[in-house]
Amino acid sequence: MILKRYKVENFRSVLDSGWIECENVTTLVGINEAGKSNLLLALWKLNPAREGKIDILHDIPVSKLSAFRKTPDQVRFITVEFELDDESIAQIESTVDCDIQGDKSVIVTRFYDGHYTFEFPSGKPKSTKVETTTIAGEEAEEPIEEETIVPYDESFLEKAIISEMPTFVYYSNYGNLSSQCDSMAQWKHN
């Protein structure tokens, strides 16, 4: 899965970032205190490599805290569009027993209570799991086999998509870094 674009809403100092397009290399430029770090923090909390717990008291904008803290299951803070590669599509479809109908992207939204929603351009994936039931006929008749499509478990779809999503790292303790460093070695060390 490849991050194509994302938007942050109601997260710390960011009320609505609008869509931020992402390429192989994407740079966020702005003056101090413009919200660049908060855009990255929200992305990290979408699917953190480690830590990254949603903290309602610190993550919801202060001006909206009294209203939003009562309904964290209704307040999204990040929406991301991922491009699906063939390997991810095959993994999701085989894990869930579904067909994502040729879609090459998925939109993932995370809410303050921690739950996710998933949207595919062609709509909800269709189950491919078939159950065969044999119905006994009367004395002279042959038994009849009837095939029924069995709905997949929504939690399997969620787990399959999350397992294919990239994980995100947020590192802000730059005082510990030397002028030349291997960021992955530093991350593993901490």
Per-residue pLDDT of the chain (190 residues; tens, 9 = 90+): 999 999 999 999 999 999 999 998 888 888 888 889 999 999 999 999 988 999 999 999 999 999 999 999 999 999 999 999 999 999 999 999 999 999 999 999 999 999 999 999 999 999 999 998 888 767 767 778 888 999 999 999 999 999 999 999 988 777 666 666 565 555 555 5
Residue 141 belongs to a domain: no
Question: How far is Cα 105 from Cα 118, in angstroms, rounded to an integer?
Answer: 10
Residue 90 belongs to a domain: yes
pLDDT in the model for residue 184: 56
pLDDT in the model for residue 135: 80
**Domain enclosing residue 169, as ranges:** 2-123+154-189
CATH of the domain at 54: 3.40.50
pLDDT in the model for residue 30: 82
Number of H helices, E strands in the chain: 6, 10
- State both tokens at 171: 């590192």
pLDDT in the model for residue 61: 95
pLDDT in the model for residue 114: 96
Selection from 167, 163, 168, 157 nearest residue 120 by Cα = 157
Residue 44 belongs to a domain: yes
pLDDT in the model for residue 71: 96
Residue 10 belongs to a domain: yes
Coil vs helix vs strand at 84:
coil
Residue 133 belongs to a domain: no
Number of domains present in the structure of the chain = 1
Question: How far is Cα 177 from Cα 86, in angstroms, rounded to an integer?
Answer: 38
Residue 165 belongs to a domain: yes
Residue 100 belongs to a domain: yes
Residue 132 belongs to a domain: no
pLDDT in the model for residue 181: 56
- State both tokens at 136: 């006994």
